[in-house]
Amino acid sequence: MTTTSSGAVTATELDALRRAFALAARGPASGPNPRVGCVLLAPDGTTVGEGWHEGAGSAHAEVAALDDARARGRSTVGTTAVVTLEPCDHTGRTGPCSRALVEAGVARVVVAVRDPNPVAAGGARTLADAGVDVLADVLPDEGRAVLGAWLPAVERGRPFVTLKLASTLDGRVAAADGTSRWITGAVARQHAHDLRAEVDAIVVGTGTALADDPSLTARAADGTLVGHQPLRVVVGLRDVPGDARLRGEGGELVHVRTHDPAEVLAVLAAREVRHALVEGGPTLAAAFLRARLVDEVHAYVAPVLLGGGLSAVADLGVATIADAVRLVPRRVQPLGDDVLVVATPEPPASAGDDTQSEEP
């Protein structure tokens, strides 16, 4: 991103950026567009307007902030726009925010994160070319956190993949007779529904679809459907029965007839899916892990022992401990009697890594 500012960020601008992060968080977690917030500061440092993006087709955060300032009867000439993401520079469902800021007479723009989307990027250059003072990469870590799965999805050109596992302490997802309801408790199950409400698609294999007949909906604590229902994606060659619960109320059913995880993600990317939740079963989980297409693991672990039955993940082709898929824990959260472990896969070791094995 172009940075033309000769001055450092001010304390007032940092406070405004933190406010913009809070505004951005009001936007929807799902959907093709990012969460963005914007605060407009007058030359004396007072706020003249603020806004956030409420979802695809609605005004972007910068335009919302400009509209807010005008509604307050405040001038936007000479203001500073403090924005969580680089203003867009393209015309889609809405016009380019970079030009809207220039036309409003904004004198300075402070940005947390550059836009990796080649379609929308370029706003900083347009602003700089128009004589606007642009300061970039301010509190970038906080900015990336607000953008969540959207940012890596756009950077990688495919949906961000969260693999969800719900298992016993010894890694089982079903008993020897096939029963699995309920391994985890009500608190953990509701947390999983809340996660569903934040993603764009839930992915299962045909084996899970046929064996469990799931509905794959996102529900509130009282059992009712929440407002956002993700796509329900079934992967595999076998047909989904006409009377399956997947064809009932909830999100659209998408059947991807393949066993290739990369092909699944390509289909979802074409549908502007930014965050996919892979829920099952063990074969599908293993396929995504073997393809190194899992970005994050949410493991719900119940204090239950079965000693047998179906494992949470099928064969990964790991013949020796050196080839194990290792994860980096990011968060551990108690959920009633259960525990949620959020972890990310370690990058594969380089060919020259000669680290010795460790004995207990």
What are the pLDDT tens digits along the chain (360 aa)?
445 555 799 999 999 999 999 999 999 888 888 999 999 999 999 999 999 999 877 899 999 999 999 999 999 999 999 999 999 987 766 778 999 999 999 999 999 999 987 766 788 999 999 999 999 999 999 999 999 999 999 999 999 999 999 999 999 998 888 877 889 999 999 999 999 999 999 999 999 999 889 999 999 999 999 999 999 999 999 999 999 999 999 999 999 999 999 999 999 999 999 999 999 889 999 999 999 999 999 999 999 999 999 999 999 999 999 889 999 999 999 999 999 999 999 876 554 454 443 333
Delimit the CATH 3.40.430.10 region(s) of the chain: 155-345
CATH 3.10.20.30 fits domain 155-345: no
pLDDT for res 89? 87
pLDDT for res 349? 56
pLDDT for res 4? 58
Active site residue 62: yes
* Under 8 Å between Cβ of 17 and 110: yes
Question: Would you state the CATH architecture of domain 11-148?
Answer: 3-Layer(aba) Sandwich (3.40)
Q: Residue 143 is which amino acid?
A: G
Spatial separation of the C-alpha atoms in residues 21 and 145, rounded to whole Å: 9
pLDDT for res 90? 77
Region for 258 from its dihedrals, namely left if φ exceeds 0, alpha if ψ lies in -120 to 50, beta otherwise: beta
Sequence-ordered alpha helix ranges (H) in the chain = 11-24, 61-71, 97-103, 123-129, 140-147, 150-156, 186-196, 206-212, 261-270, 282-290
Delimit the CATH 3.40.140.10 region(s) of the chain: 11-148
Catalytic annotation, pick one of 50, 62, 279, 296: 62
pLDDT for res 87? 94
Q: What is the CA radius of gyration of the chain?
A: 23
pLDDT for res 79? 97
Helix axes 140-147, 11-24, angle to 10 degrees: 10
Residue 86, classified by CB atoms within 10 Å of its CB into exposed (0-12), middle (13-18) or buried (19+), is buried
pTM: 0.88
| HEC-encoded secondary structure of 198-250 | CCCEEEEEHHHHHHHCCCCCCECCCCCECCCCCEEEEECCCCCCCCCHHHCCC
